């Protein structure tokens, strides 16, 4: 037998050359040096002036390229995020790993939810957040959680603390939390510290990341920077992706939107690293468009896929951790459009190598939740990971020259040892997708995917029990929530 090379077939995505990447960063630096960025937090302005930034009229700050370059050099190129039990769960940064460090999670702040029992659309409740956390906790191809929705049955001043409590009490998986401002972010970090036994433990093995973002175009609000600075001081990683709409709050051209996005995020990086050199931060993002016919912020637009690919390429060039989108849709219900868009965005997340792919399971352009969508995306994510991350291992055993020779022309492989030894690893088996013949499917009652998803969701909610919090810890958390 000849000596053939061993390798793995994995499709890859080449987006830009090094020269092209650096041209975008240079253009973003030109914006920061000439146009400037509006900074609305006095501590942030003081930090910037201390490192040599120039303050102009109207709260504008102008940054020299050297400040951006220093911040990029200072920021960590690897972040390990742990679960609630202190076990490593997510490894972020380090460039494009071919999807091997792409992780899927839910989104936040959904106003509406399809009730998991009645199927009726209603405002989101605190119980929906608990149910979401339990569902994600049970699913192997959902990796982190965000708050899913805004609970309408909770006083406004307790919304974000309630969200965090429901998440941490119902899942051990890493949490990306939202908050109103810096003081609220501090309270939630205090809750996280209560869970694991102190702030030092949160710093050493972070299982939470804070979420904040600029106000496009080219503004950092006091509340957004308050969250960023609080977490920098406390040693908690922060996600700070721009959330612009090309055509409304960013240029209509995707190249212009990419450039503006870099300017906003890199200026935040300068502030963050000035406060906490070496502190963990996740940047990047992806931008759909402002639909000129319907006035919505389009989630599943091809423009979002392209801007994600380009921005990921830039941040991966520098090894920085990245933020993007998982399977989400502009469809208002779980229909054919939703399935197609879920699949496209999941596939693209892995191809682009985004680290944290959030908003997985969003419906209605980021306004509607349906727990069935999370279950559906878990299966899609499994499919995509088998295709792109596992790939096709090629070696002497998998080439199967001996097995082919043993069977010979006209034989069959069904009862051979080689098949028995490999089929479980080599082949992908769905948990929900139909693979029955027509007659078998009809005999089973002709179930649709929607029906199977509902059954699986009810099974999870009826049987899955997450690892509970210690009773005294839960009591202390409730006291913080209700304070």
Domains of the chain: 74-389+473-482 (3.20.20.480), 395-426 (no CATH)
pTM of the model: 0.97
Measure the CA–CA gap between 39 and 34, rounded to whole angstroms.
Answer: 15
- Name the region of 295 (left: φ>0; alpha: ψ -120 to 50; beta: rest): left
DSSP string, 318-383: TT--EEEE-S--S-SSSSHHHHHHHHHHHHHHHHHT-SEEE-TT-BTTTTEE-HHHHHHHHHHHHH
Residue count of the chain:
483
Q: Which residues are within 8 A (CB) of 367 and not within 5 positions of it... i.e. 6 or more apart? A: 110, 111, 112
User: Residue 259 in contact with residue 77, Cβ under 8 Å?
Assistant: no
Measure the CA–CA gap between 196 and 473, rounded to whole angstroms.
Answer: 9
User: Residue 205 in contact with residue 175, Cβ under 8 Å?
Assistant: no
- Classify residue 468 as exposed, middle or buried by CB count within 10 Å of its CB (0-12, 13-18, 19+): exposed
CA distance readout (Å), 293 to 252, 337, 379: 14, 19, 33
Cis peptide bond N-terminal to 217, omega within 30: yes
363-400, pLDDT tens digit by residue? 999 999 999 999 999 999 999 999 999 999 999 999 99
Round to the nearest angstrom and report the end-to-end CA distance of the chain: 73
Closest CA to 373 of 363, 382, 381, 358: 363
Could you identify the residue written with the tokens 């392209």?
A: 306
User: Mean pLDDT, the chain, as a whole number?
Assistant: 97
Over its length of 483 residues, how does the chain's per-residue pLDDT go in tens digits? Answer: 678 999 999 998 999 999 999 999 999 999 999 999 999 999 999 999 999 999 988 889 999 999 999 999 999 999 999 999 999 999 999 999 999 999 999 999 999 999 999 999 999 999 999 999 999 999 999 999 999 999 999 999 999 999 999 999 999 999 999 999 999 999 999 999 999 999 999 999 999 999 999 999 999 999 999 999 999 999 999 999 999 999 999 999 999 999 999 999 999 999 999 999 999 999 999 999 999 999 999 999 999 999 999 999 999 999 999 999 999 999 999 999 999 999 999 999 999 999 999 999 999 999 999 999 999 999 999 999 999 999 999 999 999 999 999 999 999 999 999 999 999 999 999 999 999 999 999 999 999 999 999 999 999 999 999 999 999 999 999 999 998
Annotate 171-232 with three-state secondary structure.
Answer: CCCCEEECCCCHHHHHHHHHHHHHHHCCHHHHHHCCCEEEECCCECCCEECHHHHHHHHHHH
Q: For residue 82, what are the β-bridge partners?
A: 88
User: Residue 167 in contact with residue 129, Cβ under 8 Å?
Assistant: yes
């Amino acid at each position: 037998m000849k000596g053939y090379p061993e390798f793995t077939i994995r499709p890859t995505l080449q987006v830009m050359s090094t020269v092209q990447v650096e041209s975008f960063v240079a253009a973003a630096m030109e914006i920061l040096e000439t146009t400037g960025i509006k900074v609305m937090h006095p501590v942030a302005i003081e930090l910037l002036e201390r490192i040599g930034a120039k303050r102009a009229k109207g709260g504008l700050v102008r940054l020299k390229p050297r400040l951006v370059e220093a911040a990029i050099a200072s920021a960590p190129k690897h972040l390990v995020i742990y679960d609630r039990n202190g076990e490593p769960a997510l490894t972020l940064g380090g460039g494009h790993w071919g999807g091997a460090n792409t992780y899927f999670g839910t989104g936040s702040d959904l106003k509406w939810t399809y009730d998991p029992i009645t199927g009726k659309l209603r405002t989101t409740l605190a119980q929906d957040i608990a149910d979401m956390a339990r569902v994600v906790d049970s699913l192997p191809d959902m990796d982190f959680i965000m708050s899913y929705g805004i609970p309408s049955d909770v006083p406004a001043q307790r919304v974000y603390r309630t969200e965090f409590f429901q998440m941490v009490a119902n899942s051990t998986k890493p949490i990306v939390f939202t908050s109103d401002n810096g003081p609220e972010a501090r309270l939630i970090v205090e809750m996280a510290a209560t869970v694991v036994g102190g702030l030092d433990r949160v710093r050493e093995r972070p299982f939470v990341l804070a979420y904040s973002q600029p106000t496009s175009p080219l503004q950092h609000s006091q509340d957004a920077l308050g969250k960023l600075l609080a977490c920098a001081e406390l040693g908690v990683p922060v996600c700070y992706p721009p959330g612009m709409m090309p055509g409304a709050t960013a240029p209509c051209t995707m190249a212009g939107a990419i450039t503006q996005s870099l300017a906003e995020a890199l200026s935040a990086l300068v502030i963050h690293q000035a406060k906490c050199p070496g502190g963990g931060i996740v940047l990047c993002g992806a931008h759909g468009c402002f639909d000129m016919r319907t006035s919505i912020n389009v989630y599943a637009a091809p423009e979002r896929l392209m801007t994600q690919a380009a921005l990921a390429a830039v941040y991966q060039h520098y090894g920085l951790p990245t933020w993007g989108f998982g399977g989400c849709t502009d469809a208002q219900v779980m229909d054919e459009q939703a399935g197609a868009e879920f699949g496209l965005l999941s596939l693209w997340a892995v191809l682009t190598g985004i680290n944290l792919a959030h908003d997985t399971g969003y419906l209605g352009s980021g306004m509607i939740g349906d727990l069935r969508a999370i279950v559906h995306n878990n299966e899609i994510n499994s499919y995509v990971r088998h295709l792109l991350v596992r790939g096709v291992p090629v070696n002497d055993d998998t080439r199967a020259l001996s097995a082919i020779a043993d069977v010979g022309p006209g034989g069959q492989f069904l009862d051979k040892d080689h098949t028995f030894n490999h089929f479980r690893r080599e082949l992908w088996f769905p948990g929900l997708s139909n693979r029955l013949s027509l007659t078998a499917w009809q005999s089973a009652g002709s179930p649709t995917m929607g029906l199977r998803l509902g059954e699986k969701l009810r099974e999870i909610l009826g049987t899955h029990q997450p690892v509970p919090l210690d009773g005294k810890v839960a009591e202390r958390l409730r006291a913080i929530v209700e304070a």
